[in-house]
Amino acid sequence: MLRTVIDALERVIAGIGRVVALFVLAIIAIMLYEMFSRAILGWSVRWASDVSTWLLVSFIFLGGPWALARGKFVRVDAIHERFSPLTKAIVDTVVSTTLFALFIWVLLSFGYEFALKSFAMGERSATGDWGGPVWLAKAMVPVGSALLMLAWVLNILRSWRDALHGRGA
């Protein structure tokens, strides 16, 4: 049962992460198009800056869970790596989860309100006159936070699997 849940979470988070990784190519393409249009055609693409910035925001908030699930998230390993698998599981479950829950609560509650207000008022980009919907970028805060929460659950489940059954069982 534990293995099934871990496998399902890994597939979902990795799938989203792989798709979001392609955003880097989209950002590069948009910036190249903007550079070409300014240098060769003599005019600026009004939406390029907004869209590339919004893709970067999406990349960070939707890619963060993938980084956490792959063990690439920020952590001070100087002490943690010396712990036994059981001690790691206990520390992560109690201490790290408490701190993580506070972090996620702030991101979810304020991010949700931030995005909802933007959506309710029909907020549009003030850059140029293309009027892109700003709420799309702002919605990445609560969406990414919810995915980060799932990645944390995956992290805790893996810790307990390793503590109870050995590494990667």
- SS3 string of the chain? CHHHHHHHHHHHHHHHHHHHHCHHHHHHHHHHHHHHHHHHHCCCCCCHHHHHHHHHHHHHHHHHHHHHHCCCCCCCHHHHCCCCHHHHHHHHHHHHHHHHHHHHHHHHHHHHHHHHHHHHCCCECCCCCCCCECHHHHCHHHHHHHHHHHHHHHHHHHHHHHHHHCCCC
- What domain range is 42 assigned to? 2-165
Q: Which residue has the tokens 């099934």?
A: 4
Start-to-end Cα distance in the chain: 13
Average pLDDT (135-160) is: 91
Looking at every residue in the chain, the average pLDDT score rounds to: 88
- Report the candidate in 78, 79, 73 with the shortest Cα–Cα distance to residue 158: 73
Lowest mean pLDDT among 46-60, 89-103, 123-137: 123-137
Question: Tell me: the pLDDT tens digits for 45-88?
Answer: 889 988 999 999 999 999 989 888 887 766 667 777 788 888 88
Q: What pLDDT does 14 receive?
A: 92
Q: Please state the domain count of the chain.
A: 1
| Maximum alpha-carbon separation in the chain | 64
User: How is residue 39 written in tokens?
Assistant: 């240098």
Q: What pLDDT does 75 receive?
A: 65
Share of the chain above pLDDT 70, in %: 94
